[in-house]
Structure 1
Amino acid sequence: MMELEQIIIEKLYSLNTCKFCIKRLLAANDESIQEKIDTYVESYGKNHVKRYKASPCKSCLDIYSYLDEIAKRIAEMITKNNLDNYRLVIKVPYAIIMRNKSFSVFLNEKYPEYYKDKIILQPYKPLYFLIMNNLLKTYKIKYRFLSNVRIHINFEYSDDKKEYSKLVKEDIGAKNFKKKIQMTGSSIIKKYVGVPPDTPTVPAILRNIELIIQKYYIGGRYLKFDKNFSQGIGERSITNLFKNVMSKVFGITSSDIKIYFCGSDGLGYRVLGTGRPFCVTLCNLRKKPDDNSLEIVAELLNQTSSYKVSSLSYVSPNDLLDLKDKGVSCTRTFRYICKIQCAEKLGKAIQQISMLDKDGFFINQKTPLGVIRQRTQGVRTKKILHVDASTVQDYPDLIDISLIVECGTYTEEFIHGDLGRTKPNIRDIIGCEISILSKDLLSIAPDFPPLVSNDKDEMSDDEFFEEVDFDIHSFGYSVKDDTGDLNVYTGEVKDEKDFVE
């Protein structure tokens, strides 16, 4: 071991840092040096990972003392829930990030030659690896970065706000806090934090370990050709068939599948044209779906001639929210085939309908008689954006009516009048009784699912985690996105008022 390394170890040891932090703060990635540090520290006969020693580690606040407990609890959690992989997210107190900066400033100024080309990692990064390594060696449980099963490890420190409020007077997200700390100059750290940091009176504690299974969202559109096929409950329903197929493909129960349709359709009419948008939420998936899962779903669903699904793709939670938001304001296009009582008036009826305002007009609709028991009674004003009519070849008493309406319009009532509860209506306009023979939904306006969708989940601002590529050594790792932790201060804050608020 180099003499300078030994001097730094002795200094860190005298500052009451645990052996894990000594390794980390020394920025020693060589396995042989790691072993020498272990031997050197243990030669003093002091157990640096004892949880309740007189004063906690000045750097990590003793979070490393929970290594074995965390691994054991995670192993039990994975076994109990029959999981085959996992992904870790670690949340640590802000004070630990601030203390790490203090040590970086201290070591960089005291031993500039040694640290000129070294980077000191945040305490949670080696902790992340050590937990993963423990689970692999002790419990044979493998880690998978792209797993949809996330295990959140949350630490808590009672003096956290007391310490970080020396620099930041308001609550900000973890990423913003870390960015501010990285950009803060050494003079401000010295004045408000102390270099090295003060000795803590209490350790950080493990608050909880949470199992979070990521939801997956599948967007698409469906066409319905069978009028006797419903959207809702029942054996012959879109909902039932979707759940049966997806529960088999994704290995979950039907109760774990939630389906949102952009509008509803019952018995008696078809869904044609571009189809009706829908979004399926898959809950409690034990593993990430295979790459060809959606192809299998589409193939199984499209085996029947009663309906067809298309445009299946993974979408984000925001896409679902966007669909729900646009679904209540988008337009619908319908086609009705109707029979009028007075066939001799067909030509005149078509002319009268065609003369309606091409720029659209409003109608007033009382709650329809068909749903008066299920809906709040009132009068709703809706806009008919376009209406057109034409003859049906070979059927002189039939009329083809096309409608473009805003969401929530009772289109059938607009045609037959609902005993005068909808005004104006087609029946009154043509002055003749009219009966609906068939109804087709041709299109719904929202562009869903999006042409380009990102199914990668994003972590929230309060999750302290950065991707780390690990080698096989206990502390041998290379780090992505970890600049400025030690001696590279980009965008350094020069004025105290720029930081202390």
Structure 2
Amino acid sequence: MNVVNYEILKKYPLCNRCFGRLYAKLLHATNIERGEALKLFKLLELEAQIKKAKEENKSYDEELKFLKCIVKSGIEKTRLLNEIKEEDIKKEVCPWCRDIFNKEKMEKLLKKVENLLKNYEFETFLIGTHLPQEIKDLEKEIETEFMESIKQEFGREFGKMLALRLNKSPDKEYPDIVIHINPYSEDIYLQINPLFIKGRYRKLVRGIPQTRWLCRKCRGKGCEICNYTGKKYPTSVEEIIAKPFLEATGGIDEKFHGAGREDIDVRMLGDGRPFVLEIKEPKIRKIDLEKIAKEINKDGRVEVLNLEFGVRKDKVFFKNTPHRKTYWALVECSEKISDEELKLLEKELENRTIYQKTPKRVLHRRADLERIRKVYKVKTSKVDDTHFEMIIYCDGGLYIKELISGDDGRTNPSVSSILNKNCICKELDVLKIHDDNLLEKID
């Protein structure tokens, strides 16, 4: 088996680095060292063949032609140089790397990158190398099973130089900044990755949504209906939390990711709802989370707890991981309610599967589906003849207002159907978002 394909040198004068890159996964050496060693071996073989042909008075035109190809590709260690005309061995530009690893070119790119980075605070980076289509096509043509792409080598080598120059660290998983470079055209642009802050929030008042709501009429442009604010509601949990972070980081925008959401008229109490705040294109990353938390909490409507820096996968976890919840609800009945009926309600709803079609109040923005959720435990407390309180421990995604009212039969069973009375939820609070899914006793 001939592992090394020397025939490629007849068509393309690959430099030592590029020829060595064809076999990067074999010998533990640099691509330059590997390429030079392989060419020297072939030169030795060709010189021996030419010497033998001379002794036997045979033609060696093909061997000499091949030897010239190798010399043209950038290696001149041959005893036959005195037999070759200078114009026959003039070094050609490597068609693969096109001299992008030239010291002066690398220095030029380093200075351009430094200038682009000067306005950003960061600790980690990643080099994203982009190749012209003709280089990709060439790689596909000459590919071997042991080859690495030139984009891998350029990213590695340029990354080493930049890390040394800036005293920063490469990071393949969670880089602060990705530096995209086409070393052939010398085009460079930065991808400023978001800053993630995670924690929990408590919403202490009713009447504000979790996230910013655009005006339905103008879709954020501003009109008479929204008093030219572009928003349906003056503020939100998202905006109260995000504002000081945007000011501290110099970010251009933000996105709020919560572990579920509560209605506008529902408070989020207890130890709060988990959230991740994503700050886009921050200029500053070293911020005082404790100081910002104090600033947010002065507002009085929203509190944040347990702030810490996060990573991208945190937002996926919070958005996609189901969390059981505990609610408090104040229920109003159309008729008098007895203690015995409340005890019956507790018994009927314990470990009860609930079949719930999308509530009518949100059908305009949610698909009409049937959701199957479970209530694990309920505790009730009578307030007066027509009012009682409920503590409900249940699956996330269960609509509590409709669990109480029945939503004209779209939720089954419901508090109304069990008690055979019209019941409505007058007030609702989220008491706990359970990070684990273990049944906890309701005291």
1:383 is aligned with what amino acid?
A: K
Structure 1 residue corresponding to 2:210, chosen from 206, 231, 234: 231
The answer as to 2:398 corresponding to 1:384 is no
Partner residue of 1:185?
A: none
Pair 294,53 (structure 1): closer, same or farther in 2 beyond 3 Å: farther
1:71-110 aligned at under 5 Å gives the runs 71-75=110-114, 77-78=116-117, 82-83=119-120, 87=125, 89=127
Contact 1:249-1:296 at 8 Å conserved across structures: no
Contact 1:148-1:285 at 8 Å conserved across structures: no
The answer as to 2:109 corresponding to 1:70 is yes
Contact 2:255-2:277 at 8 Å conserved across structures: yes
Partner residue of 1:356?
A: 348
Q: Structure 1, residues 78-112: CA drift from partner, whole Å, max 9, x if none?
A: 46xx44678563769999xx899xxxxxxxxxxxx
1:440 is aligned with what amino acid?
A: D
1:338 is aligned with what amino acid?
A: V
- Please, what TM-score do these two structures have when normalized by structure 2? 0.61
2:435 is aligned with what amino acid?
A: P
The structure whose RCO (Cα within 8 Å, separation 6+) is larger is 1
Partner residue of 1:489?
A: none
State the Cα distance separating 1:222 from its structure 2 match: 0.8
Structure 2 residue corresponding to 1:267, chosen from 259, 264, 268: 264
Contact 1:67-1:131 at 8 Å conserved across structures: no
State the Cα distance separating 1:309 from its structure 2 match: 0.8
**Alpha-carbon distance between aligned partners in 2 of 1:131 and 1:221, rounded to the nearest angstrom:** 38
State the Cα distance separating 1:305 from its structure 2 match: 2.0
Contact 2:323-2:436 at 8 Å conserved across structures: no
The answer as to 2:390 corresponding to 1:401 is yes
The answer as to 2:275 corresponding to 1:278 is yes
Q: Any idea what SS the aligned residue of 2:101 has?
A: helix
Partner residue of 2:193?
A: 214
**Alpha-carbon distance between aligned partners in 2 of 1:367 and 1:124, rounded to the nearest angstrom:** 51
- The sequence identity of aligned pairs, in percent, is 22
State the Cα distance separating 1:131 from its structure 2 match: 5.9
The answer as to 2:177 corresponding to 1:149 is yes
**Alpha-carbon distance between aligned partners in 2 of 1:376 and 1:396, rounded to the nearest angstrom:** 38
Partner residue of 1:321?
A: 316
The structure number with the bigger radius of gyration is 2
The answer as to 2:436 corresponding to 1:436 is no
Q: Any idea what SS the aligned residue of 2:318 has?
A: helix
Pair 301,447 (structure 1): closer, same or farther in 2 beyond 3 Å: farther
Q: Any idea what SS the aligned residue of 1:232 has?
A: coil
State the Cα distance separating 1:279 from its structure 2 match: 0.7
Structure 2 residue corresponding to 1:302, chosen from 288, 293, 297: 297
Contact 1:365-1:381 at 8 Å conserved across structures: yes
Pair 130,382 (structure 1): closer, same or farther in 2 beyond 3 Å: closer
Pair 247,353 (structure 1): closer, same or farther in 2 beyond 3 Å: same
How large is the RMSD of aligned CA atoms in angstroms?
Answer: 4.0
State the Cα distance separating 1:217 from its structure 2 match: 1.1
Q: Aligned pair count?
A: 318
State the Cα distance separating 1:124 from its structure 2 match: 7.3
**Alpha-carbon distance between aligned partners in 2 of 1:441 and 1:125, rounded to the nearest angstrom:** 50
Q: Any idea what SS the aligned residue of 2:424 has?
A: strand
Pair 353,235 (structure 1): closer, same or farther in 2 beyond 3 Å: same
Pair 446,154 (structure 1): closer, same or farther in 2 beyond 3 Å: farther
2:116 is aligned with what amino acid?
A: M
1:368 is aligned with what amino acid?
A: P
State the Cα distance separating 1:408 from its structure 2 match: 2.2
Partner residue of 1:336?
A: 329
